[in-house]
């Protein structure tokens, strides 16, 4: 599997090429557009990792680790 940075670079390249093909940007605006798209993709991909970790931590009460919490079983008569 490619590193995160390689994946970000490949995704950025594909997005910018599609913009050029669709006529949304010209090749002369490539430098500025590539830089903006790269930063956006990077923030999105790296931000998603952090958010996923934060969500996992918020779902578990303090001191409880995933897979170790025991549920109480109650029987209603």
Q: Could you tell me the two tokens for 47? A: 């931000």
What are the respective helix, strand and coil percentages of the chain, to the nearest 5? 65, 0, 35
Radius of gyration in angstroms for the set of CA atoms belonging to the chain, rounded to a whole number: 22
Q: Which residue has the higher pLDDT, 65 or 17?
A: 17
pLDDT, residue 1, reads 45
> 16: which residues sit within 8 A by CB, 6+ positions away?
25, 30, 33, 34, 37
Q: Which residue has the higher pLDDT, 42 or 47?
A: 42
Q: Look up the pTM and report it.
A: 0.56
- 46-61 pLDDT, tens digit each: 885 544 455 455 555 5
Q: Could you tell me the two tokens for 65? A: 């680790």
> 34: which residues sit within 8 A by CB, 6+ positions away?
12, 13, 16
């Amino acid at each position: 599997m490619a590193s995160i940075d390689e994946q970000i670079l490949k995704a950025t390249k594909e997005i910018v090429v599609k913009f050029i093909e669709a006529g949304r940007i010209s090749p002369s605006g490539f430098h500025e557009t590539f830089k903006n798209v790269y930063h956006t993709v990077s923030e999105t991909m790296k931000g998603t990792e952090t958010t996923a970790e934060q969500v996992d931590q918020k779902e578990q009460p303090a001191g409880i680790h995933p897979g170790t919490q025991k549920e109480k079983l109650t029987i209603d008569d």
